[in-house]
Structure 1
Amino acid sequence: MIFSFKPEPKYSAVALFFQNIQEKIFLYKEHILSTSEIYEQKLAEALTPLHEESNAKLIEVRAKHESVLRENKGNKDAELIALHESGLDDAEGYYQYLEENIQQEHDELHDFFNKSSLIMLYSLLESELKKLCQIMQEIKMSRIGIEHFSNSNYIKGCFNYLDLVIELPAHPLESFQTKISYLQLFRNRIVHSSAELSPNSTNEEKNLLKQALNDAKEAVIISEGQFDNKRTIKIYSKQYLLQSLELIADLFLTLYQIINHENNYLIVKEELLSFFSAEISDIEIIIDSHQHIKNGAKFQFTICQKAKTGGTEIIHLNASVSSAASLEVATINQCKDSKLASEVANQIKKKEKYFASIFKEWTIANPSMSVNITLYE
């Protein structure tokens, strides 16, 4: 066992926020997938013995049906006689009824879980946006807080506040606000009316519902009441939860990139400093430039190390990150006789996956990423 007495790296509040939200989103996804799997297992456990019993019974009654048909060959009512004496119709109907009841019970359990999970996801979105607003208020030292933007649409208030303190670009966030309005519609109906739709909805509400259902791609449906004509939102599939979680993850990823840019890539700088300072002492990292490329980004850094004998050694690091089928990390060291460059290259080689994770927010990962590093003087 190796013990290290180096102090834990200190991250800014905004860096910690984005680290924590990633972890929460991961745990929410695991919760959704694992719970849905339990429900699927329960359904299989209920259906398996029923199928075994029905298969055995149907083999018996079908044999009886064929036997009666042979006995009544030439009789125009042979089929009716065979169905009656064998009980084939009754047996098929009985087992179909039992299977449909089990499936319906399973669907309702899924619906209850998915609706409660949807409320949880919406609460996550609200609470985390509020935290981010409070952090940005401190960073910008603004006297105006999120409480000045509170209204019935809390999430819209958060967007308005973030727009004030960091000037959110309109285009990247328009699609998020539209899709969040769909999520809000389903959440509000679930919370305020047990998922029932009002027969007195306005044309605007009807149009929004139509758009939301189209966006859900059949993962959310409207159930018509068999006796009372009530229309109720049903979420039988976990796909809408995963779709909503992906929406939230993409939103915070976009906010991460915007806030990074507005704060001179503070979060990337902190994570790189934490990565290298674990093994390399007295270093400083300066971000010189950043540019977007197809499915990724390019960064240029200056790394400085104070020598014990005085003076400072300086090297430069270029990092190009983009999507890839699998993780690829390549390092080229063009520095001659530089101890600092050798240490940096060795640190990257030893912990390639960790190093690559620092840049994962800058790629459209399908399913992984490529990182190409060049060190030069």
Structure 2
Amino acid sequence: MIYSFHFIGDRKRTPLDKFLNEIDRKLTLFKKHTDNTNNLYEKEYKELKSENEEQYKRSLFEANAEFDKLVAGGGYNTDEDLQFAWHASGGSSVDSYFQDEDEALFDRFNTMKDYFYKSSLSSLYALLESELRALCGILKLSYNKKISLQNLNDKDYLTAIVTYLELVIEVETYTLESYITKFRRLQFIRNKIMHNGGVIPEEEREKFSKEIIYNESAICLIESSTVFIKNVQLIENNLQLIRDFFYELRWVLDKKSDYSILTHNLTFFFEQFSKKIKVSILEVSQQRNFIKCHLVYDSSELQLLFFCNISFLKAKVKDTVIISQLTNEILIELLSNLEWPSGIIHDNILTGYLSDKNCKVKFMLYE
């Protein structure tokens, strides 16, 4: 009989695993909100621009009709006369009027989108800071630490958070440094938007040009001093940066606990075959695309040992491949009576551990 995961309720997760999964959910919703709002701006702009173009065509048609009527009446023989007739028909002002209308429409929507992008960028940074503060609180409880983030008394939250992770929780933070450097650029822009109306003081403009504009093509200064966000790419880049950061942080934190979260998730998965199967992780590759597990099937009658290598491979869509080299009949029977659905494996068992959810997960089972 083939059983299925699809009716299995969500398992009990550790506070850290639950928290990290919730961050991923929030970032997904943030992206959806950003995309939907940006698309609404684009849609409305195109609709109004199309209306302007139709009105331009009608106005030009009417001007040509009036011009033809004037010329047909006679008395317009020279080029100068014809030019006067075109002016009298209103034709000479049609182009300039609708060009001005197009430019005004373009400027109006760019300004509205700039307001939205600045608001989104500020909200995104606030989300990053608040989630990192909350994370430090969870880690304090998980590791029974007496020192809290607030005890560090540093006004720069980014510095305080990294210091807390490194010195109090004692995790390796060197792989996080490149992200923190980029977060400081985000922090700088956010602070100028929130506290200075987006105006960059003269003494900081050279730094802004070298560190911000050089690295972010979607941002510039208008009137030589005010931050202007040109398109949604700046938000999307920083959103992906934060998502990548928490992916890296998940691996760093789980490594400190000897991969207890990943072990818990894989144990839950294999327990669907049998509650008597327990999992321990022997190896995680430096590239994090290979996991070697040791599994034990322990019943009152016998104990069976086997292994599972899990590889993450690039692919266009989610996929799961199972290669079994098992020879023990009991194990073969146990591990063949359950579906291995890609959705459950990618989005539940290995959620947060895949740098790209559209990948192939390969299970190699052997003794």
Do the two structures share a fold, i.e. TM-score over 0.5?
yes
Query: Aligned match of 2:320 in 329, 350, 363?
Result: 329
Q: 1:82 to 1:254 in 2, by over 3 A?
A: farther
Q: Deviations over 1:122-174 (max 9, x none)?
A: 1110011112212222233222221122422112211111122233242x223
Residues of 1 paired with 2:11 and 2:351: CA distance?
20
Residues of 2 paired with 1:231 and 1:67: CA distance?
53
Q: Which amino acid aligns with 1:33?
A: D
Query: Aligned match of 1:248 in 242, 263, 277?
Result: 242
Q: CA deviation at 1:7?
A: 7.5
Percent identity over paired residues: 24
1:283 paired with 2:286, answer no
Residues of 2 paired with 1:19 and 1:340: CA distance?
32
Q: Where do 5+ consecutive residues of structure 1 fail to align?
A: 225-229
> What does residue 61 of structure 2 align with?
59
Correspondence 1:1-377 to 2 at 5 A: 8-62=10-64, 75=78, 77=80, 80-81=83-84, 83-164=86-167, 165-170=169-174, 172-199=175-202, 201-202=203-204, 206-217=206-217, 219-224=218-223, 231-293=225-287, 297-307=289-299, 309-347=300-338, 349-357=339-347, 358-359=349-350, 361-365=352-356, 368-377=358-367
Q: Which moved more, 1:62-71 or 1:32-41?
A: 62-71
Residues of 2 paired with 1:331 and 1:108: CA distance?
53
Q: CA deviation at 1:8?
A: 5.0
> What does residue 227 of structure 1 align with?
none
Q: 1:341 to 1:319 in 2, by over 3 A?
A: farther
Q: Deviations over 1:69-106 (max 9, x none)?
A: 99899846367435423333311121222222222222
Q: 1:141 to 1:306 in 2, by over 3 A?
A: same
Residues of 2 paired with 1:3 and 1:182: CA distance?
44
Residues of 2 paired with 1:80 and 1:313: CA distance?
98
Residues of 2 paired with 1:166 and 1:46: CA distance?
57
Q: CA deviation at 1:318?
A: 0.9
Residues of 1 paired with 2:54 and 2:40: CA distance?
22
Q: CA deviation at 1:258?
A: 1.2
Residues of 1 paired with 2:82 and 2:353: CA distance?
69
Residues of 1 paired with 2:140 and 2:253: CA distance?
13
Q: 1:65 to 1:278 in 2, by over 3 A?
A: farther
Q: CA deviation at 1:111?
A: 1.6
Residues of 2 paired with 1:125 and 1:345: CA distance?
43
Q: CA deviation at 1:339?
A: 3.3
Matched residue of 1:102: which SS?
A: helix
Q: Which amino acid aligns with 1:54?
A: Y
Matched residue of 1:350: which SS?
A: coil
Q: CA deviation at 1:54?
A: 1.1
Residues of 2 paired with 1:240 and 1:72: CA distance?
61
Q: Any conservation in 2 of the 1:306–1:313 contact (CA below 8 Å)?
A: yes
Q: Deviations over 1:3-55 (max 9, x none)?
A: 99988522111111211111111010001011111222222332332221111
Matched residue of 2:237: which SS?
A: helix
Q: 1:57 to 1:6 in 2, by over 3 A?
A: closer
Matched residue of 2:285: which SS?
A: strand
Q: How many residues align?
A: 361
Residues of 2 paired with 1:321 and 1:342: CA distance?
26
Normalising by structure 2, we get a TM-score of: 0.87
Residues of 2 paired with 1:87 and 1:231: CA distance?
41
Q: CA deviation at 1:208?
A: 3.7
Residues of 2 paired with 1:369 and 1:152: CA distance?
41
Q: 1:272 to 1:345 in 2, by over 3 A?
A: farther
Residues of 2 paired with 1:355 and 1:8: CA distance?
13
Q: Which amino acid aligns with 1:373?
A: F
Higher relative CO (Cα under 8 Å, sequence separation at least 6) belongs to 2
Q: Which amino acid aligns with 2:18?
A: L
Aligned-CA RMSD value:
3.0
Residues of 1 paired with 2:9 and 2:276: CA distance?
13
Q: Deviations over 1:225-280 (max 9, x none)?
A: xxxxx722122411111111011101111111111222211221122223233453
Residues of 1 paired with 2:91 and 2:197: CA distance?
42
Q: 1:208 to 1:100 in 2, by over 3 A?
A: closer
Q: Where do 5+ consecutive residues of structure 2 fail to align?
A: none
Residues of 1 paired with 2:68 and 2:181: CA distance?
61
Q: Which moved more, 1:3-12 or 1:176-185?
A: 3-12
Q: CA deviation at 1:310?
A: 3.5
Normalising by structure 1, we get a TM-score of: 0.85
